[in-house]
Copies of this chain bind each other. A is one copy, B any other.
Amino acid sequence: MSKQDNLVTAAVILIGDEVLSGRTQDKNLAFIAGFLGEIDIQVAEARIVPDKQSRIVEAVNALRPQYNYIFTTGGIGPTHDDITADAIAAAFNVGIDYNDEAIAILRERYEEKDFNDARMRMTRIPHGASLIENPVSKAPGFQIENVFVMAGVPKIMQAMMGCLAPRLKGGAKMMSRTVRCDIGEGWIAASLETLQSQFPNVSLASYPFFEKTGMGTNLVARSTDEAALNQVEAALIEMVASASSH
């Protein structure tokens, strides 16, 4: 990514052994990145860590000073392997306790006899955090400073993103243009590099594809400068036409 002004950046931390074992195909990162992209926040890094406190603390503390926002998914359910809330409290060096607001939310959902210790566990929230509403299954996520802690179940995480979105402040609008061609990368790499050097405030990338119907390359330009982006798009179209005619 070229350096561009006024960008607001985020990192994503996916917490859970199930993604690392290959058992679960993660879909949360792509959703979060797409969602944030819409409000002009760029995901700049992601990490996938196991359900292990030291790993979670390490990732959170490595990333939170570097990016505007951090989003975590996973590990806030009722079972013994749900350790994210404790890990976040440890990362921020704050206490953690049953949260009255969270208890009130779960009391509305569960009858007294069903509100057992395990469910009570989901109301443990680090000191100083504010809750994130969970319209699907009620047990809330939470925000502490620039870190947003969400559930790992995609449907719940997606609902939480919608609820917390008003708290986020986007940056300059990042726009993109894609030119698809049936030429291999090797034919246009030199022209692409020249074009990149002419437009330092546009990020140019090429992604080869190999599909049943043939191979080719997607050329993607991204920038906050729409005029420059339009010039680059025109140049890309001309470049592809020129390369194809040889």
Contacts and interface: CB of A to CB of B under 8 A. Distances in A.
Interface of A: 1, 17-27, 29-37, 42-52, 55, 77-81, 114, 116-119, 121-122, 136-137, 153, 155-156, 185-190, 192-193, 196, 203-210, 220, 222
A153 B208 CA distance: 7
A186 B21 contact: no
28 contacts: A1-B17, A1-B51, A1-B52, A18-B220, A19-B29, A21-B43, A22-B32, A22-B36, A22-B43, A46-B47, A47-B47, A47-B48, A77-B185, A78-B189, A79-B185, A79-B205, A80-B204, A81-B206, A114-B186, A116-B186, A116-B190, A117-B189, A118-B187, A118-B188, A118-B190, A121-B189, A153-B209, A156-B210
Contact of A192 (B27, B79, B186): B79
A78 B17 contact: no
Contacts of A210: 136-137, 153, 155-156
Nearest to A106: B186
Contacts of A119: 186
A105 to B, nearest CB: 14
Given A18-B207, A20-B46, A22-B35, 10 more contacts: A19-B30, A21-B43, A21-B222, A22-B29, A22-B33, A47-B48, A51-B205, A77-B208, A79-B189, A153-B208
A206 B79 contact: yes
A1 B50 contact: yes
A44 B220 CA distance: 32
A27 B29 contact: no
A137 B7 CA distance: 37
A140 to B, nearest CB: 15
A81 B45 CA distance: 17
Given A22-B32, A24-B207, A196 B80 contact: yes
Nearest to A189: B118
